[in-house]
A and B are shown apart, each in its own frame.
Chain A
Amino acid sequence: MYSQQIIDRFKNPKNAGSLRGANGVGKVGNAACGDIMKMYLKISDEGIIEDAKFKTFGCCAAIASTDVACDLIKGKTIDEALKVTNKDVFNILGTMPAHKIHCSVLAEETIRDAIEDYYKRREKANKAK
C-alpha cells in the first residue's frame, strides 16, 4: 500500500521537531479530519530558507510528506519555495494510495502558510520600527 520511500521517511524523518528562532510558522488541517501539519522556517534577511522543521499529527503519508516538503525548500529562496507543489512531494515519495494524495497537498499548503506567516511577522516588525 505504501512505497518504501514513504515507510523510510515515516520511520526516520529527517526534519521532525520544532525550530528555535523560527521566523515563519505555518499550520494547516485539523485533528478531526486526521491531519495537522505544522512547519517552522528560519528565513535569512536575504530571503533564503536556512532551515525547516515540522511537527505532524497524521498518518504515515502525512508525516512523510511534511518531511519531504522541508527538504524541498531548505536552502531555497522564498520564491523558489513557493514554486514547490504537491507533485514534487509526490514524485519523491513514489506511489501513494489515492486517498492519501491530499497529504501531499496539505504539505504544499503548509509551506505557503509558513511563508505567509513570515511575511506577516516582517510587516508587523516593520510597522513597529
Chain B
Amino acid sequence: MRKVYLDNASTTYVSSEVLAEMLPCFNTIYGNSSSLHGFGREASAIIDRARDRVAHAINAQKSNEIYFTSGGTEADNWAIKGIAHAYANKGKHIIVSSIEHHAVLDSCKQLEKEGFEVTYLPVDKNGLVNIADLLHAIKKTTTLISIMAVNNEIGTIQNIKAIAKTAHEYGIIFHTDAVQAIGAVKIDVQDMEIDAMSMSAHKIYGPKGAGALYLKNGVRIENLMAGGNQERAKRGGTTNVPAIAGFGKAIEIAVRDLSINQQKLKTVREYFITKVKERIPYIQVNGHPHQKINGTVNISFDMIEGESILMLLDLEGVAVSTASACTSNSLEPSHVLRAIGVPDELAQGSIRFSFGKNISKSDVDYTIDVLEKAVAKLRGISPITKAGRK
C-alpha cells in the first residue's frame, strides 16, 4: 500500500544530513559536555557549534543567548513561567493569544493558580491578533506578552514585529513560540525585536527531544530545571549532545533551504486546495487567505466528523491529523477553530494536512482521490443532510 505522510506539523522524519551529524555523538563523541577531560571537551565543542548554528539561523546577536531545552514545550513552559516569576515584583499580568499551543496556555493556567492574571486575546476570523485589542489589554502590571509566530493548526502568521514593538513601547517583554515558524518564515530576532523565542528540532527534520529558548541578553528568567550548571547555570540536566547536534544541523538546513522549500510547498498547497474544492462540496478552508505558511492546510468538511475521516485516510495509507496531535484524545473541538469562529459542528469535521518538503505530485493526487472517497462514504452514512448536497 502507498504511504503518504501529511502530518509534518506534528513531527518530521530526521533528514540524512542531520542523522549523519548526530550518529558520531552516540558512540564516538560520547563524553558529558560538562566534563573537563578531553571526552567532555569534544562533546562541548559539538554543543558550541550547534549553539552557533542556532544563533546564526535566527540572527541572534550572541550565541550565548541560545539555551538548549528538551523541546518546544519546555521552552514555552520556561519562558512563560520563568519570565513571569522573574518580573513578579514589577507586576503579575501577562497577555497571550487564545490560539496559543497548550504548552503556553497550560503554563498560563498554572500561573493563574499562583495569583497571576492572564489576558487571552481574541483573534479575528483569519487567526490574527488585532493590535488595538493588544493595546486595550495592556496594564501597568503587564510584564510579558506571548504571541505565537505561526499557529500550529491553521498556519496563520502573526504580525510579530508590530506586536513586539507595541510591547516594547510599554516596557513589556515579548516572547514568541516559533516552533511552527522556523523553516517556514524568515525569523530575525533582532529585526523583529523578539526578547524570547521557543524553538523545536523535530518539526524541521531534526530529532525529537531537542529545542531551544532564545533569550536576549538582559532579559531575566527564573530557572525551571534545577540541578546543574549546564546552559550557563540556567538549565540543569546533562546536555543531550546527539539531539542538540542534530538540531543545530537541522536549523541550519531549514534556513538555507527556506525559499526553495516554500516555493515548492506553495505550489503544492495551491494545487491541493484547488483540486479539493473542485471535487468535494461543502468544505471550508480555515486560516488566513494569504498570511499563512505553505505547509499547513486546515479544512473543515461539513456533515462528517474528523476522526472518522482521519481513520479512513489512514486505512488507505494517508496520515493526517485532526486539529493537533496534542489534543487528539480530547472530545472538545479545537480551541483554535473556536477562536476563529468556526461553529463547533463544523470544527468537529476538520482535518489538518501538513506537507513535507519531499511531497510529490502523485502523492497529492493519491491523497485527493482517497479523500474524495472517504468524505463521500462518511456523508453517505451521516444523519446530517443539506438540501442540494452532491
Contact surface of A with B, Cβ cutoff 8 Å: 2, 7, 10-11, 13, 16-17, 27, 30-38, 54-60, 62-63, 97, 99
Contacts and interface: CB of A to CB of B under 8 A. Distances in A.
B303 A57 contact: yes
A54 B383 CA distance: 8
Contacts of B304: 57
Contacts of B382: 55-57
Contact of B381 (A35, A63, A97): A63
Contacts of A99: 329-331
**Of B307, B315, B330, most A-chain CB atoms within 10 Å:** B307
Interface of B: 303-305, 307-308, 311-312, 315, 329-331, 333, 343-345, 348, 380-384
B345 A58 contact: no
Contact of A33 (B331, B343, B381, B384): B331
Contacts of B311: 2, 7, 10, 59-60
Contacts of A58: 305, 308
B315 A32 contact: no
A7 B310 CA distance: 12
A16 B305 contact: no
A32 B345 contact: yes
A13 B348 contact: no
A37 B383 contact: yes
A34 B333 contact: yes
Nearest to B385: A55
B58 to A, nearest CB: 37
B344 A31 contact: yes
A106 to B, nearest CB: 12
Contacts of B330: 99
A36 B384 contact: yes
5 contacts: A16-B380, A17-B380, A36-B383, A54-B381, A97-B329
Contacts of B384: 31, 36, 57
B8 to A, nearest CB: 21
B307 A57 contact: no
Contact of B308 (A30, A33, A59): A59
Contacts of A38: 383
Given A32-B344, A34-B348, A57 B333 contact: no
Nearest to B344: A32
